Structure 1
Amino acid sequence: MRTWLITGANRGLGWHIANAAIAAGDNVIVTGRNLEKITEAFSGYDAKKVVTLALDIAEEDQIRNVVQSAVAIFGKIDILVNNAGYGQLGPFENNSPADIDNQFSTNVFGMFNMCRAVLPIMRKETHGHIFNIASIAGLVGMPGASVYCASKFAVVGFSESLAQEVADFDIKVTVVSPGSFRTDFLDASSAHFGSADIPEYAEFSRKIRDSSERNNHAQQGDPAKLGSVIEQLALDPQAPTHFVVGSDAVQIASDRLNSRKLELEAWRELATSTDTPNQG
């Protein structure tokens, strides 16, 4: 029987991934910043198999405590799902240094610290699978989301490198890049907008906010289906390092690959002109 540790599980993608793991009969540790909310989200489940713990992944001491508790309760951690995160939106100049620090503390450094705490356990077992939830915004830059995109690009690059570093320990790393799924991501409770007011960006910012409100809970992706897919990938020894999910994300990623290839070929001659002449 497998043991999962899932961050940011009180709602959204994390909640659905946890429910898919529970339905598969696995042991699951679900975490969220507010213990009351995470407990309520999983009330009615067998407390011996579904454990709820408070965790703010921006706090290293809380991460250590949760990981220690997980091992004390179930003896191991087979699957780590780094799902906790949020979107810091708006133009770059509208985002203060504090806004950016908070975004990276959760989306990037919190994920780093979760991996740092769990990897020694997986290395000891010579087994494990880490899922880092990124976004299609980690593959394609988007206006009005420069800070969020930067954080998710970091998740993608880190995951690709980490996968190669831990492969010899039979630990897999999959970075999941979803498109738009019908969650609370665009709610005011999740999406944050820059705190710096710059009049020149007022109209652009209004368009970003209007678009967020229009698309909130109208996204085409079904988070329950994504939860089931993650559970399936956790069983597959051939699970990919990169998993782009959602028809919109697949199309966006495909278009970006094609445009990058065209750009690379258009500038190949100039780019390769920088080589040192062959002295032989």
Structure 2
Amino acid sequence: MSKVAEKKVLLVTGASRGMGVDIAKAALAAGYAVVATGRDPQKVGKAVGAAEDLLTVRLDVTDPASAQAAVQAAVDRFGRIDVLVNNAGNFIAGFFEEITAQDFRAQVETNLFGPLNVTRAVLPVMRAQRSGLVVSISSVAGFLGAEFTSAYAAAKFGLEGWMESLAPEVAPYGIKTMIVEPGFFRTDLLTPESTSYAEASIDDYAERTKQTVTAWSGMSGLQGGDPAKLAAALVQLTGSVEPPARWVAGADAVGALEMKAKLLLEQAGAHRELSSALAHDA
């Protein structure tokens, strides 16, 4: 336990499959003690594998009490939490009119309020330490809206706004934040376990829905990005003296962000004279 006590502690959500597993393994390989969480700790343990410095804990990110209990278990075992990686999430896809209000709320509940719940439980620990790093896995959809992704983008845009606002609030206590914006990586996101499609109900959208679902289903497992490399790079950044406030992961994501930045500048200048003539007259 003395060796474990000397190690930094990383807590990752959604570690029963997908990128969460890769992050947990990369952190262990880098010398972290790891708290790997998921709704079924047995699945987490099976996916990550046995390790002396690994604690698997049940955590439903949509349940604040579950988040508090998981954080307490981490502190009871390791005494501290140095890095939180908000990774758990899912994907509800479809045209806005066809996504039910219940499903839209459920998307935001998991992908936005989930990280809020876990971070709210972790921050008192980090403030007491006067150190820590909060990482949230966003997406290209966190800065670039696209058809068929309205619910997912709404949650990820919200996640990024919250993280940017959180950063200056916690900085005085030695706590840093990092937004991660992956492009297309070969994760489980487009598999049936992670993606739900809105039920087709409007004729106007029927053909586009069919084409999109077919294209995305065919893309699953063929994405260009390697999640193991992403995880290793992410863990490397968590150990840096000044982690980036935003890390754009993947060449496709870099290209998308550059395109969005150019578009924003064009929009800012499109009606500059009109926009600048709205002050009260002296």
Is the aligned partner of 1:106 residue 2:110? yes
Partner of residue 33, structure 2: 27
Partner of residue 182, structure 2: 178
Partner of residue 40, structure 1: 46
TM-score w.r.t. length of structure 1: 0.96
Map 1:70-85; keep pairs closer than 5 Å.
70-85=74-89
Helix, strand or coil for the counterpart of 2:152? Answer: helix
Equivalent of 2:134 in 118, 130, 142: 130
> How many residue pairs end up in the alignment?
276
CA distance in 2, matches of 1:254, 1:9: 31
Shift of 1:189: 0.9
Is the aligned partner of 1:215 residue 2:219? yes
CA distance in 2, matches of 1:204, 1:173: 38
Letter in 2 for 1:243: W
Shift of 1:116: 0.6
CA distance in 2, matches of 1:174, 1:29: 19
Letter in 2 for 1:21: A
CA distance in 1, matches of 2:162, 2:213: 30
Is the aligned partner of 1:264 residue 2:268? yes
Letter in 1 for 2:16: N
Shift of 1:274: 1.8
8 A Cα contact 1:79 1:130, kept in partner:
yes
8 A Cα contact 1:93 1:196, kept in partner:
no
Equivalent of 1:228 in 227, 232, 250: 232
Letter in 1 for 2:160: V
Partner of residue 199, structure 1: 203
Structure 2 residues without counterparts, runs of 5 or longer: 1-6
Is the aligned partner of 1:156 residue 2:134? no
Shift >4 Å, 4+ stretches: none
Helix, strand or coil for the counterpart of 1:53? Answer: strand
CA distance in 1, matches of 2:181, 2:49: 29
Letter in 2 for 1:41: A
CA distance in 2, matches of 1:39, 1:197: 41
8 A Cα contact 2:200 2:206, kept in partner:
no
Helix, strand or coil for the counterpart of 1:116? Answer: helix
Letter in 1 for 2:179: V
CA distance in 2, matches of 1:216, 1:74: 37
Letter in 2 for 1:12: G
- CA-based RMSD of the aligned residues comes to 1.1
Shift of 1:196: 6.2
8 A Cα contact 2:200 2:209, kept in partner:
no
Shift of 1:238: 1.7
CA distance in 2, matches of 1:275, 1:179: 41
Letter in 2 for 1:100: F
Structure 1 residues without counterparts, runs of 5 or longer: none
Helix, strand or coil for the counterpart of 1:257? Answer: helix
TM-score w.r.t. length of structure 2: 0.95
Shift of 1:63: 0.8
Equivalent of 1:243 in 239, 244, 247: 247
8 A Cα contact 1:6 1:14, kept in partner:
yes
Shift of 1:25: 1.6
Helix, strand or coil for the counterpart of 1:143? Answer: coil
Shift of 1:197: 2.2
Query: Identity of paired residues, percent?
Result: 39
